[in-house]
Amino acid sequence: MMTNPIKLITTCSVAASVLLSSCSTKFKSKVEAENAKDEFLWNGKEVVVITTPTDREIEDAKKDARIKRARECKRAEEKLNSAINHPYGKGKIANTIAIAYARQEVAEKCSLNPNADEINKETLTRRVTKNTRKCFDEFETRQFVCETSKTNKDEMTWEEWLELKTYYTYFRY
C-alpha cells in the first residue's frame, strides 16, 4: 500500500486556445515524485491501435514477396546444380542425399503462386497496444513530465489515435 505523498504546491491550468490541459504537483523529494508518477501510470489504460494497409501497400507487399520468392528459388537451383556437379561427390551416398535435399528445396522455393493466399488486408493489418499515459524524467527542470491521451475506446484506428487530445501532468521534485 502506498502512502499519500506530501503535496507542497498544486497548480492546474487550461490553455483553451490549443485545448491542452496541465497539472503540476511539487514534492519534497524525487522518490516521492517518482512514486506519484508510478501511481499515475498505473491508473492509465491500454488501447489497441489498428493500422489497416491501403490497396497500394497490399500490392507492394505481394510484389516484394514475389521478388523474394524468385531470389530464394534461384539460390535453391544454384545449390542443386552445385550438388549435382560437385567433382568429388559423384556417386557417393552423401552427395546423393545432398541432391535429394536440394531437389526438395527447389520444389518448395520454386512452387507456383508464391504467397498469394498469405498476403491480404487481414494479414497486413497491424494491431499495436498503446498506453494512454507515458512519462519521462526531465532532469534539467527537476520534474517528471507525463502525457495522457484520453479516450473511452478500447480499439481505434491510427488516425483516431493521432487526433486524441493530450493532457500534461508534472510531478516536480
Residue ranges of alpha helices (H) inside the chain are 30-42, 55-84, 93-109, 121-124, 158-163
Global pTM value: 0.59
Which three cell numbers mark 152? 473511452
Distance, in Å, from the CA atom of 156 to the CA atom of 143, rounded to the nearest integer, reads 31
Residue whose C-alpha is closest to residue 95's, from 106, 107, 79: 79
* pLDDT tens track for 99-127: 888 999 998 888 766 556 688 899 999 99
What pLDDT score was predicted for residue 115? 58
Q: Give the single-character DSSP code of 7.
A: P
CA distance 32 to 4: 9
Pair type for strands 126-131 and 9-15? unpaired
For strands 20-26 and 166-172, give the pairing. Answer: parallel
pLDDT tens digits for range 38-52 = 999 999 999 999 999
Confidence category of residue 95, pLDDT binned at 50, 70, 90: confident
DSSP 8-state symbol, 21: E
Beta-carbon contacts of residue 128 (< 8 Å; ≥ 6 apart): 48, 49, 51
In Å, how far from its chain's centre is CA 134? 16
Residue with cell 506530501: 6
Per-residue pLDDT tens over the stretch 4-62: 444 434 444 433 333 345 677 899 999 999 999 999 999 999 999 999 999 999 999 98
Q: Rounded to whole angstroms, how far apart are CA atoms 34 and 69?
A: 52
Q: What's residue 149's pLDDT?
A: 95
